[in-house]
Structures are given as C-alpha cells and as structure tokens.
Amino acid sequence: MGNNQFTHLQVASGYSFKYGTSQPHQLVERAAQYGMSALALTDRNGMPGAIRFSKACEEFGITPILGVNLSFIQKRYRVTLLAQKGKLSSLYRLLSAVNMDNKENVLTLDLLKRFSCYSRDVLVMHGPESALANAIIARKNNEALSIFNSTKELFADQVIECVSQLARSESKYSTTNAARLFGFAQSNSIDALLTNAVRMLNPSDAPVADVLDASRKLVLISDKTIDRVNAEAYLKSASDMQALADEIAVAAGARDGRALLRTTQDWATRAGLSPRQDVGIGGIHLPEPIVLGAANHEQLASQLQQRCESQLANKYRANLIQTATSRLAEELATIRHLGFESYFLTVTNIAQSAKAKGIRVAARGSGAGSIVCYLLGISGVEPLSKGLLMERFCSVLRNSLPDIDIDVESARRLEIYDDVFSAYGDDDWSRPNNQSRCATVSMVETYRARSAIRDVGSALGITPTEIDLLAKNLPHIRSKNIGRAVETIPELKRLNLNTPMITAAIALATKLDGLPRHLAMHPCAIALSDLQLQDFAPIEQNPGGYPMLQFDKDDVEDIGLLKLDVLGVRMQSAISYTLAEIARTEEKSVDIDTIPFDDKATFDLVKSTRTLGLFQVESPGQRELVGKFAPDSFNDLIIGISLFRPGPVKGDMISPFLETRQGFQTRPFIHADLEEILKETEGVVVFHEQVIKIISTVTGCSLAEADEKRRDLGSREGQQEVCDWFYSLGLARGYPQKVVDRVWQILRDFASFGFCKAHAAAFALPTYQSGWLKTHYTAAFIAGLLTHDPGMYPKRLIVDEARQWGIAIAPVDVNESDSTYRVERTTELTQEPYVAPNTKSSGQTLSLPDARGYAIRMSLADVRGISIQEVENIIAGRPYLDLADFVYRANVSAPTTEALVNIGAFDKLNGVSKTGINRRDLYIHLAELQKVTTKAKQVSAAQLTFELKPTSVEKLGLPDVTAEEQLQNELDTLGTEVTSHVLAPYVEFLNSIGVKKSAQLIQERSGASVLVVGVKVALQTPPIRTGQRVMFLTIDDGFGCNDLTFFQDSQAQYAHVIRSSTLILARGVVRKTGPRGISLRATGAWDLNEAFNRWLAKAN
C-alpha cells in the first residue's frame, strides 16, 4: 500500500444513542477533508443511521462501510460486525434475528448457530471490549485461542482490533494493551488491524460525551462516574493513525506499524459497499404480484385495469363516462410506466379489508386527485368535477413512490395494523428466512431545548428546581436556539441566568442540539415491501408489539418501500357511531358514502355558523369565515378549508376573494385562457392545481412538468430558473408582456401559499358528511360527538348545543344509561330550536334542524371516578328495584354510588319527584345501607336475606338539594351541567342590565355596542396579517357562542380577566361581516361573579 491511506473501521455516531456525539454526515465530511476514500459506521446495538450515512458518503464521494457493535455471547463482552461487500443483507438479517430474540441485543452462541447462514457472510472484529481481548490481557492465552477458534467457522473472517487511545498502561485503551493484542495476533498468525474506537468528531466534544454518559447511566458527572480519561476517541487523520500504528507495533517488538495498516486497508476493501446496489438507495420495493393474486406483472396490470373499469358504470353517469374512461386510461398509462400497480392494489386491499370489518376508511392527501383511487374506493372524492389532478399525486417525472395516508376510526386503528401484519407479516423470528413484507417505521427522538437542559442540568448537579424552572420556561425550540431564547423571552430574562453554572449548562445544551436520544415507533406509519424488506432494513421489536424498522420515514422513502400512514381520527369514529345509532333507533341504514353532495339543508346549517362538531369548520376563525362567505356547494367547502390557513391569512388572499364573491369588487381579468382556471376562486390563486394548470397553459408544457416547476418555485434558485423558463416560453407562445408579468407575479407571490385541492377535498368530505348527519340526524350525531369527543370543544358545550336543536338531555339513570351516549325518544318539552333569523343581507331563511322529540341519555362512563368494570357491573345487574337493590347487587364502590345519588341517577328509580322523597333523603338512606352492607359482609352471606332486611327510604323532611348545589354536583361529577345552564343563577341580573343572547346578535345593527355573557370555551391567539397579537375569546351562553376579538388596545386592560375567569361578562361592538357573519370587537371584559356581587350589593 504505502500511499498514506487509512480507513476508520470503528466509528460511533449519535445514532449510538447517548454515546456518540456527532451526526453521521459530519463524520463523513471530516473523512472527506482528510482525503480518506472510505469510512465505516458501526453504531452500538443498532443501525438506524445507515441510510443517512450512506447518502452522505455518496455525496462526498467516499465508500461507505456498515457494521454494528453489539454484545457477543455474554452481555458484558462486545464485538463489532462488519458487512462484506455484496452481503449487507446478511448483516441486516443477523441483526434483526438478534433484536427479535432478546431485548439486550446479545448475539448468543445459540443465535449464531441458528443463523449461521447469515453470520458466515459477516466479518467480525474482536476489539478491547471483547472476551478474546480480555483473555489476552489476562495472559490466558489458551483460553484466548479457544475463544477465537470456537467461532471461526461461524463467521466469514475474524480479526483482532487494536486500539490505543493513549490511556494509562492499566487501561483497556492504552498502548501497552494494544501492543499485547497485536503481539498475540502476531504469535498466533491471526490478522490484526487498527481502529480508534471513534465516538467524537473533535476532542472538544469531550464534555458532550460526558453528559451523554452521565445521562445514560443516570449519574452525576464526577471522577468516579466518568468513562473517559482523555479526548482521543475522535476521528483522527491518517498520519495520526499511522503514528499510532508505529507506536503500538514498536511497543510489541516489531519494526513499525505497516502490517497493522495494511491489514486495516485490506479489510476496508473487503467491507466497502455500494450505496445503490448494497444499501438500496434509489431502489423501489413493492409487494410482488403473487401476493396480490396475480401470476406476474402483466396480470397485475390487467387486474388493476379491470378493477377500475368495473366501477366506471357505478360511479359515473352516462354523460361523464367518456371523460372518465379517457382519464382512467391516462392514469393507468402513468402507473404502468412507473410500475406502481402493486402500490395501488396493496393500498386498496388494505382499505377494503378494513371496510369489510365495518371500519370507516377515508384517504387524505393528494391521492384524492387520482381517478384510480376513486374507482378503487380508496378515496371518496370524485376528481373530475373538482378539477383535481393525478400529476399532483403521482407523475412520470417523479420516480419516488406517491404518498397515501388513510384516516380510520381511531378506536379501531390497531385492528388495521393486525390485519396488515397477518396478511403481509411473518411472526416466526426464530429461524432464518423470515417472510415478512411489512413492519412499522421508527421515529428518532432528538434533543431539543427542554430535554437538553434537563439532561445537562442533572449531569452537572444543578438543583432540580432550577432545572425545572429553566426547562419549563423554554419554549419547544431547538436546543441550538436556547441562547437567543434566553435573551429575548421575557419570562426567561427575569430568571437569573447569568451564573457560570447556568451559562455552562446552556452552552452544553446547545451542543446537544439535534443529537438522537431514542428510537421510538412512528405513531401511524406502516412500511410494506417485497420479500427483500429485510435485505435492506434491519428490524427490531418495539414495545408497542409490532416489528419495527430501525429506519425512519425519510430512510424508508430513500430505499423505496411503500409507506402508508394509518391515522386514527376520532371524527370517523363519531360518524361510525352515529350511523350505528341511526340503525338502532330508526331501523334505517344510512350509507353515508353515497349521500348527494348538494343537500341544501346541510349548506344552510353551515351558513348559519352553528357548525360545532363539523370537522374542520368548527373553530371560531372558521365560523367567522363561513359566516362571511356562506358556502353553497361542496366546492365552496373546499375553498373555505384551503383559505383558512396561516399562509393565505398572512398573504392577504382571503379579503380579495370575499370581496369579489360578495360583489364588492369585480374579479380581475388577466387573460381569457386563465378564466376557467381562476373562476372558481374569484381570480385568487388558492390551489396547487391552479398553479399547475396556469403554468401548463401559458408555457404549453405537460401537467407533470408543470408540477415539477411548481415545486421548484419553493427555493430561491429554483424561482429564478423557473422565471427565466416561464418568460421565454410564455412570450414565445404569443402572450403579451403585460400578461406574462402579471401571471408571473401571481405565481411568485402565491405559489407558496397554495394548498393542494385534493387534500382539501379529502378534508371536505368528512366535513360535509358530518354536516349532513348533524342536519338530518341531529340527536344521533351529537350522541356520537359526546361519545368520541373528536372536536376542540368541551362536552358541556356539546350538551348545550344539543339543547339548541330542541334535544332533551336525559340525565344519568342507573337503569337507563349506557356506557356511551344514547339516543332516546321523549315527550319532554324542550326549548324551541335555534332558528336563524332572516337578515336583510342574507335575504333568506335558512332551514335548520328541529330535533324535538329526541333526547340524548347521558352516559355512565363520564361519572367522575367510575371504572370501566363498574360501568359493566351496573349494566349487567339491571333492572334495579331501588337504591337498596343497587347497593346489594351492583358491585359498585361507595364513592361512585354516592356520586350517582348526587347527580340524580336514582331519582326515577326511587320516585323522587313523585313521592316527595328528595335527594337528601336518598343520601341518608344510602349511608344506612352502606352500614348494613358492611355488617353483612362480616356475617355469612347466607344470613343476609333473613336478618338484615334493608330499611325503606324515609321522608325525613330535610330541605331538598338546591338548584345551585345540583348544578355544582353535576359539574363536579360529570364535567357538564344537565338540569340547568351554569348561567341560570344570573338570569335576573343579566336581564336587568340588558345582556343580549348570542342567538339574537344577528339582529343588531353594525356598530352597536352590546353586552354579552358566557362560559369561557376557548382562548386563541392565531397569527394575523399585521403580526400584532390578537386574542380570540369564545364564550357560550347556552344559546350559542359569542366570538370576541381583543385587539392590542383592549388586551392590556382586560387580559387578566379573559385569561383567568371562567364566567365572563363582556362588551363589544357589533360588526357584520357577511350574510350571517357576526364579529364582536371587544371593548371590555369582567368576571361575571364579581359583577353580579357588585350588583347585588348595590341592590341592597
């Protein structure tokens, strides 16, 4: 050799959790700077950094070498395995076998023998931590030899790894010990090589290493606990390593270190990998045709075609079939070109098997733009009528796999996982050749400001209170930004952060930025592949119970696996529950996926802004928006969802849209060719699809190319390139300069704010569906909301909302209530349902739900402190004759029974209103019963029935529970009022000072100053255009919600009230913003109780 080359074969990055101090690409970059031609990554216990490392190597022109350092035979001894060129799959599979066998990652002799078909392809280095080295140092040469020989046949090759970190002679990492190992190797004709057991990039990283060690071992940094003696474990240059080789060799009696260096280079050559061939970067792996029931690829393609075509007649009316057919042909051609048939069919099968179990499935994302997805039933949105594009989702110009996410009922999400694993997995990990084609995906948790400060603080011995104070006041920022945060955030400035200890801690925490801490399972991603899954990714057992790739989402994309996100969405559970309730109570089966999209009543509900419970449009900001622009169609919903995001808000896209829509300004005309594209959004560019179509129309390029250009607009260099290209083509095609200028301005300004219409359409679908259900089956829908709690509002508000539509609230009853909220019929008289008053500006009455005659029965599950078992017991023991019967038979704890008495769960049973017995009587009776029962448990059960007959309830003549106490009990026990609204005690006061009900505000003039009242429901500070802080307060008064906006001027005086009070009296100026849009600019806020007490005092 002799050309001054050295390759580091033992290198730990930050993916050796809480051990390595640098990122893989930093190590690669340094090796490149040194002029090294190859570098190894041999993290401890796993290989999660492998893909990132290999990509960095490719970028810097270095050959990657991959390996893993793990426990061998016994936990306390470690060796390093290296993959041979062309045989990385064997290393991965061996590592997976170890991971799936035991949590401590020990490669036992038994595992080695069972999986020798893999280990025989793998190289092993016995370094200072190995049993072999231990025996040599202890001068037990015979034992050393026998250790070496015992595993000779089980590996491709073995080598002794000499390391000197210039530690003192007694240490494992001294030159003396390295020389001993080298000497032994020489005497026994065994190969020996040199590494530096690297864990740092620079010597100055030493304190970081110490903090990581201390944090891993949960100790304080001190002389006793520190692992390090010096800072030599860094990536040294070739000449430094050559000098070390000489020192070690000479100390062992040889002339120089040339033999060591030569062997090191030999092994580096044997272990050099190709990022593309070996590591699999840039590859694509989809489930094979045979898994999907086709003999070969041809058959698979025709299966896809046939399944799509068979649905054309179902889903398209005669007038659209022609267009649909040709669109389908285009998409199938694209899919064929890319070879992605398996992708679509796999996702379809997963969705269909879920639906077959009755689980609701809805695709989200750009997949909604594909007609193939629509015909296969993956997406419920029809793409042609909405101008959605396949190219946005999947195009021949982008040969990475498209991304499909599916929303499913949150409660049943794991059933889908189980399904996928039983169809595509193989749970026998005890033998080679596991046939798994699926696994979950990992997610690397990294150090951020709070976690960094905590670990550093503990390691340095800063008191827990100080650490807490600092950590809690740090926002969720990157730890490298701590320094700046300390200088700018007022809460932090107040703390005394200038002590040397704290400044040192902050400096250290900053250095921890972005270092991996832990490998967790991604909450919703599943990866699928062909049988080569485990050839290109190692697997480990995750505590969640599913086999997990050690790679994360980005890595999975780099090696081309099919990644599916299965998101649990509570709204889908709520919809599913609603449908079940409808079936139960109306004996009608509603197919929510086939309802017409033009139901006027549904849009009336949306226009009324009474959208609580409607997925995506229930926030105060959204309610204001729909109030302003009064959506009339499904497409309008899509536009509304796309507009209400920080981008369009900041970019001032909403006002021009609304003003044109409401007729206050005319739509700007740019060019006839663009009219069709911009018509639906009144000339404002809202959707990615519009950007794509505009680019394609003006330049004449294909839609696929236009999408590429759209993506390029995202970077500054990209913008410049696209600009030049756009101008040259646009002008060449004859568009006037002014037009090209104007269009370019629009593209440049708005391309980054646009939203994918397919995404929005996918969101709009459950919005519309929930709206339709709320309109036509209000009680069942609200029962679903209460049971699954999917939205942003507390239950008491949903209960209020039910009353608005005339629904009665049936209290908790031990004989009637279930574990969920149930719909009942009732003859109870309820309040008149909300009727949106006719306003001059809207000019029309809206038809809104009238759900009188229905009641929602409160659920047992929401009783505070009740356990699932108790709920089941109560239901199992029904019917109960009276309180005594319940106490004896229901098997429910005393506190729960008391709570039930307090909220009136026994009222009906014991005939409370009829017989003049009141709750206090019941309460006393319960106490007596409990005494008797306790006594009974002390006596034999057989005697119970004869001697301990329960007393009957006596009318004791005590005053009944007051309305206030009743209310308080309900709030405490159920978290919501049932019998009366929490504002009920203040009604007289409120009427006397002229407080307006929320439902009446729409009748007020613009500019009028009104008083409103309510329970605080939400307080938000969303971003607005000018950058000033605005506070949105939502309060509920039992008749609806009042949304108050506090601008800068009113915040100072009233901020403390709106932050701390629950019952708020507020004053504001009415502003009409649209047909039903009401907004109140707040001019005052007071705590209701205080105001009430002052009024009382004055009255007396």
Interface residue list for other proteins (CB under 8 A): 165-169, 174-176, 203-204, 206-207, 210, 221-223, 226, 228-232, 247, 250-251, 460, 498, 500-501, 503-504, 507-508
Q: C-beta of 656: minimal distance to other proteins in Å?
A: 52
Q: Exposed, middle or buried: residue 597 (CB in 10 Å: 0-12, 13-18, 19+)?
A: middle
Task: Please state the length of the chain.
Answer: 1100
Gyration radius from the chain CA atoms: 35
Q: C-beta of 198: minimal distance to other proteins in Å?
A: 16
Q: Exposed, middle or buried: residue 186 (CB in 10 Å: 0-12, 13-18, 19+)?
A: middle
Q: C-beta of 348: minimal distance to other proteins in Å?
A: 56
Strand residue runs (E) in 73-149: 74-83, 106-107, 122-126
If one counts every other C-beta atom within 10 angstroms of the C-beta of residue 1021, the result is: 11
Q: Return the biggest CA–CA distance within the chain.
A: 109
Q: C-beta of 22: minimal distance to other proteins in Å?
A: 15
In whole angstroms, give the CA distance from residue 951 to residue 239: 96
Residue 20 or residue 613: which is nearer to other proteins going by CB?
20
Give the containing element (helix H, strand E) for 479: none
Q: C-beta of 206: minimal distance to other proteins in Å?
A: 5
Q: C-beta of 36: minimal distance to other proteins in Å?
A: 23
Of 823, 806, 827, residue with least CA distance to 857: 823
User: C-alpha distances in angstroms, 123 versus 86, 154, 158, 332, 805?
Assistant: 12, 10, 6, 46, 73
757-776 and 570-586 helices, crossing angle to 10°: 30
**Residue where the block lists tokens 């004869």:** 946
Q: C-beta of 259: minimal distance to other proteins in Å?
A: 19
Q: Exposed, middle or buried: residue 531 (CB in 10 Å: 0-12, 13-18, 19+)?
A: middle
In whole angstroms, give the CA distance from residue 581 to residue 269: 68
Residue 231 or residue 469: which is nearer to other proteins going by CB?
231
Of 635, 636, 767, 792, residue with least CA distance to 626: 636
Q: C-beta of 228: minimal distance to other proteins in Å?
A: 7
Residue 216 or residue 920: which is nearer to other proteins going by CB?
216
Residue 500 or residue 1007: which is nearer to other proteins going by CB?
500
Q: C-beta of 33: minimal distance to other proteins in Å?
A: 21
Cβ proximity of 523 and 552 under 8 Å:
no
Q: C-beta of 253: minimal distance to other proteins in Å?
A: 9
Residue 253 or residue 545: which is nearer to other proteins going by CB?
253
- Helices marked H in 188-257: 206-217, 238-251
In whole angstroms, give the CA distance from residue 1078 to residue 1006: 9
Q: C-beta of 161: minimal distance to other proteins in Å?
A: 20
User: Is 908 in a helix, a strand, or coil?
Assistant: coil
Q: C-beta of 489: minimal distance to other proteins in Å?
A: 20
Residue 204 or residue 1009: which is nearer to other proteins going by CB?
204
Of 232, 262, 266, residue with least CA distance to 245: 262
User: Is 42 in a helix, a strand, or coil?
Assistant: strand
Q: Which two tokens stand for residue 334?
A: 């694209």
Cβ proximity of 560 and 338 under 8 Å:
no
Q: C-beta of 258: minimal distance to other proteins in Å?
A: 16
Residue 241 or residue 354: which is nearer to other proteins going by CB?
241
Residue 38 or residue 502: which is nearer to other proteins going by CB?
502
* 115-128 as b/e: b if 16+ CB within 10 A: beebbbbbbbbbbb
Q: C-beta of 487: minimal distance to other proteins in Å?
A: 14
Which residues lie across from 539 on neighbouring strands?
A: 549
Starting at the edge strand found earlier in the chain, the sheet holding 361-364 runs 361-364, 404-409, 562-569, 516-528, 438-446, 547-552, 539-541
Residue 214 or residue 1085: which is nearer to other proteins going by CB?
214
Residue 508 or residue 677: which is nearer to other proteins going by CB?
508
Q: Is the dihedral of CA 104, 51, 33, 273 positive or negative?
A: positive
Residue 137 or residue 924: which is nearer to other proteins going by CB?
137
Q: C-beta of 224: minimal distance to other proteins in Å?
A: 11
Give the containing element (helix H, strand E) for 759: helix 757-776
Residue 165 or residue 342: which is nearer to other proteins going by CB?
165
Q: C-beta of 128: minimal distance to other proteins in Å?
A: 15
**Residue where the block lists tokens 């033009």:** 598
Residue 214 or residue 539: which is nearer to other proteins going by CB?
214
The residues, ordered by sequence, that sit 6+ positions from 694 with a Cβ below 8 Å of its Cβ are: 674, 677, 685, 743, 746, 747
In whole angstroms, give the CA distance from residue 470 to residue 491: 10
In whole angstroms, give the CA distance from residue 236 to residue 223: 26
Residue 279 or residue 506: which is nearer to other proteins going by CB?
506
Residue 172 or residue 270: which is nearer to other proteins going by CB?
172
In whole angstroms, give the CA distance from residue 700 to residue 820: 58
Residue 168 or residue 493: which is nearer to other proteins going by CB?
168
**Residue where the block lists tokens 């999660």:** 48
**Residue where the block lists tokens 């005690």:** 985
Q: C-beta of 510: minimal distance to other proteins in Å?
A: 9
- Helices marked H in 805-860: none
Q: C-beta of 802: minimal distance to other proteins in Å?
A: 60
Q: Which two tokens stand for residue 1064?
A: 């708020």
**Residue where the block lists tokens 């944090």:** 215
In whole angstroms, give the CA distance from residue 844 to residue 1074: 13
Residue 137 or residue 1030: which is nearer to other proteins going by CB?
137
In whole angstroms, give the CA distance from residue 232 to residue 245: 15
Residue 121 or residue 232: which is nearer to other proteins going by CB?
232
